[in-house]
Amino acid sequence: MVDRLLVFVDALPYASLEEAPFLRSLPSVARLVPGLGYSVNVKAEIFGGYRPDDAGFFCEWMYDPEGGGGRRWLWSVLARVSPAGTYWDRALHKMVSRLLRVELANIPWALRGQFQKAPVNAYEDGFPLPTVFSRLRGLRKVLYSYYPGGTDRDRSAVADAREAVRTRACERLFLALADLDHVTHRVGVGLPEHRAKVRSLDASLRELAEECWTINGAAQVMVVSDHGMANTRRTVAPHLDRHFGRPSERGYAYFVDATLLRVWTAQPGLAEEVAQHLAGLGWGHSLSVEERQRYGLTASRFGDIIFLLDEGLVFSPNFFGVRPPRAMHGYAPELESQHGVVAASASLPGSPSSLTSVEAHWALREFFAAEA
């Protein structure tokens, strides 16, 4: 029977606990302060204790001019016939992606051959580094990715998790949910639909936990989210091509995420020129050496420049899509809007009110991976 239940909720903000009476009622509730970047890196910190320097990747796409995906002749042809940033170009990306069965995001064709996808999420079986799940016996995972896309994946996942509890199918159960993240990007954080989604999620978690406790009164429950969200108020576009010419392996390359712009340069002095240009826009700042050390981003392969937008601004179009989200994460981790949640039915070591995602990893390891 289930002895430990661990639930991951993508994008549950600490500020939304007012809509989550069950989570608030647990004996231990703390803020989770994420690392810099998006879920793929924060998950590596939570479930593996790996900051980007340790994990070897930063964000979902990595610059790899030597082996970034092949088919360069095709990307070169498409770059000539499909103007970047247009709706036609976005449609062509989707068609080619389905035809070739490869993920293309919305990366401009001229740059596609220079980037490759980061590894799978740290809780998935294909993750290349050890995690809290490694060599753990009596474990069952129920992941939202097991279910068809749509708005009810979490409902199906929770139903299967409850079935695993009822049938005593495992000793340790891990459940990963993501519908809240998708809803928040679409409607914004703190709005009626978002609050209703948090309340519904909280009720589902209460029912699942109570089912565990009915069968095993000593079962322990922990819920962790990777980050919060901030509503967006304005879109910006860097248009580096207009100022520095078309990117090339002999000049520079760049990647536009929703809140981050990464730039790699091959020409002497160009990084300083680009950094000065970005600083003059008044949108955010390039990470300093000290910040990169603090966030575990010292490797040069992560970018000669990592430019972070101010809270509420979002790059649009970016290399993932042309429609700006109503809410976004990936801003400075110190901002309260970006904080996630750690909640547990047992006391966390030291009873902290706040944990970094790497600190949360060690608490989670003691909770989930230790002997029962």
In terms of domains, do 221 and 126 share one?
yes
Are residue 45 and residue 185 in the same domain, yes or no? yes
Q: What pTM did the predictor assign?
A: 0.94
CB 132 within 8 A of CB 174: no
Per-position DSSP letters for 224-264, written without gaps between them: EES---EE--EEE---HHHHH-S--TTSEEEEE-SSEEEEE
CATH number of the domain where residue 124 is located: 3.40.720.10
CA-based nearest residue to 237, from 305, 321, 315: 315
pLDDT, tens digit (0-9, with 9 covering 90-100), for 154-174: 999 999 999 999 999 899 999
Residue 371: pLDDT over 70:
no
Please tell me which of 146-160, 186-200, 309-323 the model is most confident about, judged by mean pLDDT: 186-200
Q: Please tell me which residue, 236 or 72, carries the higher pLDDT value.
A: 236
Identify whether residues 43 and 140 lie together within a single domain.
yes
Separation between Cα atoms, residue 315 and residue 261, nearest integer Å: 9
Q: What are phi and psi of 10, to 5 degrees?
A: -70, 125
Q: Are residues 340 and 311 in the same domain?
A: no
Q: For the chain, what is the domain count?
A: 3
Instruction: Name which residue leads in pLDDT, 347 or 192.
Output: 192
Query: What is the span of the domain harbouring residue 76?
Result: 71-112
Question: Which whole number is the average pLDDT over 57-86?
Answer: 80
Name which residue leads in pLDDT, 248 or 43. Answer: 43
Q: What average pLDDT does the segment 116-139 reach?
A: 92
Lowest-confidence range among 63-67, 191-195, 223-227, 250-254?
63-67
Whole-number CA gyration radius for the chain:
21
pLDDT top residue among 197 and 113: 197
Question: Are both 31 and 143 inside the same structural domain?
Answer: yes
Is the domain of 30 the same as that of 104? no
CA distance 65 to 82: 22
* Mean pLDDT, all residues of the chain: 92
Phi, psi of 209 (to 5 degrees): -65, -45
H-run or E-run covering 25 = helix 21-25
**Does residue 64 fall inside a structural domain?**
no
- Secondary element (H or E) of residue 296: none
Residue 237 lies in a domain: yes
Report the amino acid identity of residue 256: V
Q: Which of 23-27, 48-52, 97-101 has the lowest mean pLDDT?
A: 97-101
- Is residue 285 in some structural domain? yes
Do residues 35 and 147 share a domain?
Answer: yes
For residue 274, what is the domain's CATH number?
Answer: 3.30.1360.180
The confidence band for 304, taking pLDDT boundaries of 50, 70 and 90, is very high
Cα distance between residue 42 and residue 361, in whole Å? 10
pLDDT, tens digit, for every residue of 256-268? 999 999 999 999 9
| Per-residue pLDDT at 372 exceeds 60 | no
**Residue 293 near residue 357 (C-beta atoms within 8 A):** no
pLDDT at 85: 65
Same domain for 217 and 183? yes
Amino acid in position 244: F
With 90 as the cut, is the pLDDT of residue 86 above it?
no
How many residues can be counted in the chain? 372
pLDDT for 68 beyond 70: no
